[in-house]
Structure 1
Amino acid sequence: MGTLLALLIERPVSLYAAAVLRIGYGLLYLVFLLREFPHRDEIWGPGSPWTPALAQQLFDETGWVSILTLSDSRAYFEVCYGAALVTSVLFTLGWRTRAVSVLFAVVVASFHARAIFMTDGGDNLILLMSVYLVFTACGRRWSLDARRKAAPAAERGRLGQRFHDFRRTVGTVLHNCGMFVIAAQVCFLYGSAGLYKVQGGSWGNGTALHYVLNLELFRPWPALSHLLDEHAIAMAIAGYLTVLLQVAFPFVLFGRLKYPVLTMLLGLHLGIALLLGLPLFSGVMIVADAVFLPDRFYRSLGHLWPRSARPPGVGKTRDPARREPALVPTQPGPAG
Structure 2
Amino acid sequence: MQSETRKAAAFGAERWLADRISTAWHLLTGRPVSLYAASVLRIGYGLLYLIFLLREFPHRAEIWGPDSPWTPALAQQLFEQTGWMSILTLSDSRAYFELCYVFALVTSALFLLGWRTRVMSVLFAVVVCSFHARAIFMTDGGDNLVLLMAIYLVLTACGRRWSLDARRARLKAPRTDNVPEPAGSLLARQLHESRTTLITVVHNCGMFVIAAQVCFLYGSAGLYKVQGASWGGGTALHYVLNLELFRPWPALSHVVDEYTLLVAIAGYLTVLLQVAFPFVLFGRLKYPVLVMLLGMHIGIAVLMGLPLFSGAMIVADAAFLPDRFYTFLPRLCRRAAQGRNSRRSALGRAAGSGTVPPQAGPGTLGALGSKRGAVRPTPYRCSEHPVIEPVASARATQPCPSAGDGRDHARPPTVPADSARGAAGNPYSGDDGGAGEHG
Scaled by the length of structure 2, the TM-score of the pair is: 0.68
Distance 1:182 1:57 in 2: 31
Amino acid at match of 1:218: F
> Which of 150, 153, 159 is equivalent to 1:133?
153
Partner in structure 2 of residue 237 of structure 1: 265
> Which of 81, 99, 110 is equivalent to 1:79?
99
What SS does the aligned partner of 1:116 have? Answer: coil
Structure 1 unaligned spans of 5+: 310-336
Q: Which has the higher helix share?
A: 1
The alpha-carbon distance between structure 1 residues 41 and 199, as it changes in their structure 2 partners (threshold 3 A), is same
Distance 2:255 2:66 in 1: 43
Partner in structure 1 of residue 196 of structure 2: 168
Distance 2:183 2:96 in 1: 46
Distance 1:114 1:24 in 2: 23
Partner in structure 1 of residue 65 of structure 2: 45
Partner in structure 1 of residue 121 of structure 2: 101
Q: Deviations over 1:160-189 (max 9, x none)?
A: 544332221111000000000000000000
Amino acid at match of 2:162: W
> Which of 184, 193, 198 is equivalent to 1:158?
184
Question: Deviation at 1:268?
Answer: 0.2
Distance 1:168 1:139 in 2: 15
Question: Deviation at 1:42?
Answer: 0.3
Distance 2:201 2:182 in 1: 23
Q: Deviations over 1:239-263 (max 9, x none)?
A: 0000000000000011111000000
The alpha-carbon distance between structure 1 residues 209 and 133, as it changes in their structure 2 partners (threshold 3 A), is same
Question: Deviation at 1:305?
Answer: 4.7
What SS does the aligned partner of 2:142 have? Answer: helix
Contact persistence 1:44–1:111 (CA under 8 A): yes
Q: Deviations over 1:127-174 (max 9, x none)?
A: 000000000000010000001235558445434544332221111000
Q: Deviations over 1:9-41 (max 9, x none)?
A: 010000000000000000000000000000000
Q: How does 1:1-336 map to 2 (within 5 A)?
A: 1-149=21-169, 152=177, 154-159=180-185, 160-305=188-333
Amino acid at match of 2:280: V
Superposed CA RMSD: 1.5
Partner in structure 1 of residue 351 of structure 2: none
Aligned residues: 308
Amino acid at match of 1:186: V
| Percent of paired sites with the same residue | 78
Amino acid at match of 2:167: R
Amino acid at match of 1:75: A
Distance 2:333 2:168 in 1: 20
Amino acid at match of 1:134: V
Amino acid at match of 2:136: I
Question: Deviation at 1:306?
Answer: 5.2
Contact persistence 1:122–1:285 (CA under 8 A): no
Distance 1:258 1:27 in 2: 26
What SS does the aligned partner of 1:193 have? Answer: helix
Distance 2:180 2:325 in 1: 34
Amino acid at match of 2:112: T
Name which of structure 1's ranges 124-133 and 298-307 shifts more when overlaid on structure 2. Answer: 298-307
Partner in structure 1 of residue 5 of structure 2: none
Q: Deviations over 1:223-249 (max 9, x none)?
A: 111011111111000000000000000
Scaled by the length of structure 1, the TM-score of the pair is: 0.89
What SS does the aligned partner of 2:231 have? Answer: helix
Amino acid at match of 1:225: S
Partner in structure 2 of residue 321 of structure 1: none
Distance 2:23 2:182 in 1: 31
The alpha-carbon distance between structure 1 residues 158 and 270, as it changes in their structure 2 partners (threshold 3 A), is same
Amino acid at match of 1:282: S
Question: Deviation at 1:66?
Answer: 0.3
Distance 1:220 1:53 in 2: 34
What SS does the aligned partner of 1:56 have? Answer: helix
**Quick one: higher RCO (CA 8 Å, sep 6+), 1 or 2?**
1
Amino acid at match of 1:55: A
Question: Deviation at 1:121?
Answer: 3.8
Name which of structure 1's ranges 112-121 and 17-26 shifts more when overlaid on structure 2. Answer: 112-121
